[in-house]
Structure 1
Amino acid sequence: MGSILNPDKENSFIRLANRENKYLFVDKTDFIEKTNKRLNEDNRFFAVTRPRRFGKTVTAHMLSAYYSKGYAGQNIFDNLKITNNEFKASYEKHLNKYDVIYIDMNTIDGLFDGYSNKKQKVDGVNDLVDYFEYSIIKELKSSSEFSECLEKHQIENTGLLETLLAITQDLNTKFIFIMDEWDLVYREYCNDEVLQKKFIKLLKNLFKADGGQVCFALAYLTGILPIKKYNSQSALNGFDEYNMLSPGDYAPYFGFTEDEVANIVKSPNCKVSHQDLKEWYEGYKIKGVDIYNPNSVCKAVTRNECISYWSGTSSNEEFVRLINMDFDGIKEDIINLIEGDEVTFSCANFQNDMVTIKDKNDVFSLLVCLGYLGCSETKNQYRKVAYVPNAEIKAVLMDIVREQNWYERMETIRRSENLLKAIRELDGTTVATIIQDIHNSSVVSLLDYNDEESLTYCVMTGLLWSTLDDYSYHREDQAGKGRVDLVYEPITRRQPLILIEFKYDDSAEEAIKQIKEKEYFKRYAGQYRNIILVGINYSTKTKDHQCLIEKLD
């Protein structure tokens, strides 16, 4: 047994399944039943691509642990879903019955770095693709099961396909091929077109040629990017694809669902609320299923803190490059997306790589695949609607945007600064005018502007950028004799505390009166000397906003 052929070592799935406290283990082993139905069928080649930290590797490890002969007798799946009566016959039939070739492209890339630094090289192994092929052949030849066969056929300096064909035909066996991070060549070597074409040619020979078809009972690829297209044609069009732009039916198996998160928060070990987890990590709507980022949920529950964990998993250089490309209006689009707007785009001509970016449509297609944006479907399969899925991604994008040299020149940023300035100067007329402007923008037009919730959203959108460094906000905060609608609490005492009360078809005076009568300010009076009271009313008759601002004496 080796690391590539019939792996038998502990992996991420086995570690999760064996945890003593399993409240963070979400059992998705019924996915195996889906893959069993593909074995030796016409649809036995498929690829699932998702953004980083969406459980792709855990699922690949799960399939390896199930199919590989290397794990025979380890009882890894005892008491898991796949052993239920409805799956039992299929489960037992295929458990640890296959020769599995498991490829982690990150590992191959790391090993190739070490190989590149050696003085002595293997003849014909000059690049990552050569090393990929060489590594698999090396383990096949070192296998006691296959070595005699390969010696008999005098397989020496032949390629991977020829090696596999010799084994398959001589021993009447088929392999299961699992490749994690299949698209590494297109992400990490994005400017090396020669290497990319060489890699995709090797995969085409394995899975598209007649000879390769007979070698595999199943082939499963994971990655971030969909399979590369040349013009409008997929380079591996024999693969069924399930990606963020065309997700298919496997949404519940990659990421946590609403019900799965509900079960996690039931545990006494969980100290964060379901609502906080939803606000921070949900929002990827895939085929009608609301999906949470599983890695971030686990970290938030473990650390008892909902913050952005996704931002620390890789560099954001690619996002910066994309938004700074000279495509008309894309910077403003990103700002509007962060504020809650949506952008319609076409993915019809996206080439599924990080280089062939021709227009804004390609930028948004790539950002969806990378996980910076969510997308929902329209009646046209190629027209999608992009949006920022949750608070975690919103925080990441805001941090990136604020570092750009064009940030302070954006009209939206200036408007936000002017709104906060007007509140501090007790200028209710200017505040009402700015809120009216936000109300008439495309962001708020998405809402039914018919209640205080919509009005609250409008003001929060306006203050979004100007309060980033100096304030934290709270909605419906318990204070005095009730709950104040919106509070902006300064991080340092130098800034004023801002209490905001909303009215709908009433008056701003009544909003200020309520703040005073309910004594909302008393909770904060001992901490802050400078407290500003803001009353805002919207009239459905005149369609106008009214604002009254006072400083607490």
Structure 2
Amino acid sequence: MSKDVLFLTGVEDFSTIIEKKTYYIDKTSYLKELFMSTSEVMNALFIRPRRFGKTLNMNMIKEFCELNYQNPGDKSYQQKLFIDNGRNLAVATDEYKELREKVMGEFPVISISFRGVEGSYFYEAVSKILLKISSLYEKFIFLRESKLQTKEQIEAFSYIYNFSTTKNTKLFKPEYLAEAKQICGSFLSTLAEMLFKEYQKKVLVIIDEYDVPLQKAVIAKEPYYDDMLDIIKQISVSTFKQNPDPWLYKGIVSGCLRIAHQSVFTDANNFTTYGMNREPYTGFFGFTKDETHKLLDDCGLSDKENDVKEWYDGYRFGKKHIYCPWSLISYCDEALHGSTDKPQQFWVNTSGNDLITMFTDNSMEAHNAENIDKLQKLMEGENVDISLMEFTTYPDLRVGVSFDVFMTLMLHTGYVTFAEGSDTIDKVTLRIPNQEVLYCFNKKRELLFGENNPYWYNQTLSLVDLLMANKTDEAQAYQKYRR
């Protein structure tokens, strides 16, 4: 077994992975598709489950495209990171020469992630957005000294930076919260206009995990979905307009869900959504069968391929079988440098699985035994047939959604996948993808039907009491009512 393969589990910074000579599965071939193919799009929305490499890929794109702000035209950073690193990345080959000349190190880049934007109350979540704005503006603080910017632009920049830095802890005051919401809607376009003016180059905008604040808003102590939706919409409208500003080169956005009806991108119809089954990006996120085979071979773990397949494979993205990258890297790292080479659950530990909890709780309260029975079928390894339903809004989960809507949501978030032979549009067949996700469902089953859940536990005790008293008619009536 090889011991010299190094991993940085949880690190999603491309430069750190390359510079520290840790393991990287090359996804740079997709850069040509993104920026120079005949199917190139203005704005792209990538929808994938969590922990499937979205953030690392977004960061890789940023590092490849971003110009040297102090010395425009200097591409030595990218040359070292992508070309002269001894890894023979796809983008370093002659086939990508034109891409390197036209795109590498050529554009101002605004990149922001909404991961971690949450709070028990609305103002707490907005405060976290301000902290991200403050950090972003700190990177471009040199623009305040530019001779190319107008006095008004510099004042607007300074106002946003100073407010985000000094007032982010005071948003419990309504007047500050109102100002903060305005800043959230304008910070990106204000910065982009200045960068465009400074370098006479269009700006690449990257937004990672755009939908996290919306999901967290639903499960908050005091839910604030509509307020957060307004902010995300403002950012979208001011950045990705139907008739885009002259400063926009391209927008690249990632998330788990495309929300319908109250769409974040209502006024940005030039968005192209790349779901799990839309080519040519089905292999862009996650590890393909061939990539997984090489990884295990490099680690001296080829004899574990069947175990790995059972635990971490099972996802269907288009015609490809995709492995969960977070779990696979975590497994290899543990097998090489930890205490065991037995598969474990890694992916399920990265979330509280709030979506399953919310749906099952609502099903119990509504005495909807049919929903629970279908979940039970999944946990027993059976397939379920549904009609794919475009997801509406997160708050629907609180008031109850159909099983088909819930399963569509589960599909996008990685809890289920398409069964072999299933169509991928309209009426489809779904299954739990692998042993790791099944573990998650089984833990949820233990919670639902165990004594730690007073709802089901008390109902069971009542039913047992009736049966012990030989009150079979009452027991049957009780059970029928509960179903």
Same fold (TM over 0.5): yes
Q: Confirm or deny: 8 A CA contact 2:28 2:91 kept in the other structure.
A: yes
Looking at structure 1, the residues matched to 379 and 97 of structure 2 have their Cα atoms a distance apart, in angstroms, of 47
Counterpart amino acid of 1:15? T
Residues 138 and 58 of structure 1: CA distance in aligned 2, closer, same or farther (over 3 Å): closer
The answer to whether structure 1 residue 279 and structure 2 residue 279 are counterparts is no
**Aligned partner of 1:384 among 389, 403, 428:** 428
Residue 286 of structure 2 aligns with which residue? 255
Contact kept in structure 2, 1:257 and 1:290, CA below 8 Å: yes
Q: What is the rounded CA distance, in whole Å, between the counterparts of 2:264 and 2:242 in structure 1?
A: 20
1:426-465 counterparts in 2 under 5 A?
A: none
Q: Which residue of 1 aligns with 2:394?
A: 353
**1:286 positional shift:** 0.9
Aligned to 1:292: 323
Sort the Cα spacing of 1:213 and 1:38 in 2 relative to 1 into closer, same or farther, 3 A: farther
Measured after TM superposition, the shift of residue 150 of structure 1 is 3.9
Name the CA distance, whole Å, in 2 between partners of 1:134 and 1:38: 36
The question of whether the paired residues in 1 share the 8 Å contact of 2:312 and 2:327 is answered with: yes
Q: Which residue of 2 aligns with 1:267?
A: 298
Change (3 A) 1:382 1:248: farther
The residue type equivalent to 1:206 in the other structure is T
For structure 1, the residue ranges without an aligned partner over 5 or more in a row are 1-9, 118-124, 411-553
3-state SS of 2:287 partner: coil
- Whole-angstrom distance in 2 between the partners of 1:189 and 1:274: 40
Partner of 2:81: 76
Q: Secondary structure at the match of 2:115?
A: helix
What's the secondary structure of 2:386's corresponding residue? strand
Tell me the alpha carbon deviations over residues 453-507 of structure 1, each in whole angstroms, 9 at most, x when there is no partner. xxxxxxxxxxxxxxxxxxxxxxxxxxxxxxxxxxxxxxxxxxxxxxxxxxxxxxx
The Cα offsets for residues 37-96 of structure 1, whole Å up to 9 and x where unpaired, read as: 279x97220111211111111101111110112494221012311111211221232111
- 1:336 corresponds in structure 2 to 377
| Structure 2 unmatched ranges of 5 or more | 1-10, 69-73, 160-182, 336-341, 457-483
Determine whether 1:47 maps to 2:33.
no
Equivalent residue letter for 2:238: N
Match of 1:369 among 407, 412, 419: 412
State the secondary structure of the residue aligned to 2:149.
helix
Q: Give the root-mean-square deviation of aligned CA atoms.
A: 3.6
Q: 1:534 corresponds to which residue?
A: none
Which structure has greater strand proportion?
Answer: 1
Stretch moving more, 334-343 or 276-285 = 334-343
| Cα distance in 1, alignment partners of residues 204 and 287 from structure 2 | 27
Q: CA deviation at 1:163?
A: 5.1
**Distance in 1 between residues matched to 2:384 and 2:331, nearest whole Å:** 30
CA displacement at 1:130 relative to structure 2: 6.3
Q: CA deviation at 1:162?
A: 4.9
Q: Distance in 2 between matches of 1:47 and 1:89?
A: 25
Select which of 189, 192, 195 maps to 1:164: 192
Flag the 1:146–1:255 CA change in 2: closer, same or farther, 3 A: farther
1:36 maps to 2:52: no
Cα separation, 1, equivalents of 2:143 and 2:154: 15
Cα distance change, pair 360–164 in 1 and its aligned pair in 2 (3 A): same
> 1:243 and 2:275 equivalent?
yes
Give the equivalent residue in structure 1 for 2:163: none
How many correspondences in the alignment?
Answer: 386
Asked if 2 retains the 8 angstrom alpha-carbon contact of 1:100 and 1:175, the reply is yes
CA separation of 1:140 and 1:332: change in aligned 2, threshold 3 A: same
> Of 224, 228, 245, which residue of structure 2 is paired with 1:195?
228
Render the CA deviation track for 1:74-130: whole Å, top value 9, x for unaligned: 2101231111121122123211111110102236x38x99xx79xxxxxxx975666
TM (normalized to structure 1)? Answer: 0.62
- Tell me the alpha carbon deviations over residues 263-318 of structure 1, each in whole angstroms, 9 at most, x when there is no partner: 12222543751111111100101101000001111111222231111121111232
1:98 paired residue number = 107
Whole-angstrom distance in 2 between the partners of 1:162 and 1:140? 12
The structure-2 alpha-carbon separation of the partners of 1:378 and 1:389, relative to structure 1 and needing over 3 Å to count, comes to closer
Q: By how many angstroms is 1:30 displaced?
A: 0.5
Greater CA radius of gyration, 1 or 2? 1
Contact 1:44/1:218 (<8 A) preserved = yes
CA offsets per residue over residues 244-266 of structure 1, 9 Å max, x none?
A: 4x544311111111111111222
1:352–1:366 contact (8 Å) kept in structure 2: no
The answer to whether structure 1 residue 313 and structure 2 residue 350 are counterparts is yes
Partner of 1:64: 62
Instruction: Tell me the distance in 1 between the aligned counterparts of 2:134 and 2:392.
Output: 29
Shift of the alpha carbon at 1:146?
A: 5.3
Alignment of 1:139-218 (within 5 A): 140=140, 142-143=142-143, 148-151=148-151, 156=156, 159-160=186-187, 161-162=189-190, 164-165=192-193, 167-168=195-196, 172-190=200-218, 191-192=223-224, 193-210=226-243, 212-218=244-250
Q: For residues 153 and 307 of structure 1, do their structure 2 counterparts lie closer, same or farther at Cα, with a shift above 3 Å needed?
A: closer
Q: Summarize deviations over 1:210-252 as a string: whole Å, max 9, x none.
A: 3x442221111112222454289856432111234x5443111
Question: Does residue 1:224 correspond to 2:222, yes or no?
Answer: no
Deviation of 1:400 (Å): 1.4
1:147-199 alpha-carbon deviations (Å, 9 max, x no partner): 74143656526834355345536753211111111112211223311221232
> Higher helix fraction: Structure 1 or Structure 2?
2
- Contact kept in structure 1, 2:258 and 2:391, CA below 8 Å: no
Superposition deviation, residue 354 in structure 1? 5.5
Q: Which has the higher contact order (CA 8 A, sep 6+)?
A: 2
SS at match of 2:34: helix
Q: Distance in 2 between matches of 1:126 and 1:256?
A: 35
Q: How many angstroms apart in 2 are the aligned matches of 1:19 and 1:137?
A: 28
Shift of 1:374: 1.2
Give me the whole-angstrom Cα distance separating, in 1, the residues matched to 2:389 and 2:299: 47
Shift of 1:336: 0.7
Question: Which range is displaced more, 325-334 or 140-149?
Answer: 140-149
Residue 45 of structure 2 contacts residue 274 of structure 2 at CA under 8 Å; is this kept in 1?
Answer: yes
Match 1:323 to one of 350, 360, 380: 360
Kept in 2: contact 1:178–1:220 (CA 8 A): yes
Distance (whole Å) between structure 2 residues aligned to residue 64 and residue 394 of structure 1: 36
Percentage of identical aligned residues: 19
Task: Normalising by structure 2, report the TM-score.
Answer: 0.70
The 8 Å contact of residues 129 and 195 in structure 1, kept in 2 or not, is answered as no
Distance 1:227 1:269 in 2: 43
The amino acid that maps onto 2:110 is: I
- Matching residue of 1:26: 25
Q: Would you say the 8 A contact 1:228–1:235 is kept in 2?
A: no
Q: Deviations over 1:359-413 (max 9, x none)?
A: 1122111111221111358557333322100111111111111211379999xxx
User: Structure 1: how far apart are the matches of 2:54 and 2:29?
Assistant: 15
- 2:15 and 2:293 map into 1 onto residues whose CA distance is 23
| SS of alignment partner, residue 81 of structure 2 | coil
Q: Is 1:283–1:291's contact at 8 Å kept on the other side of the alignment?
A: yes
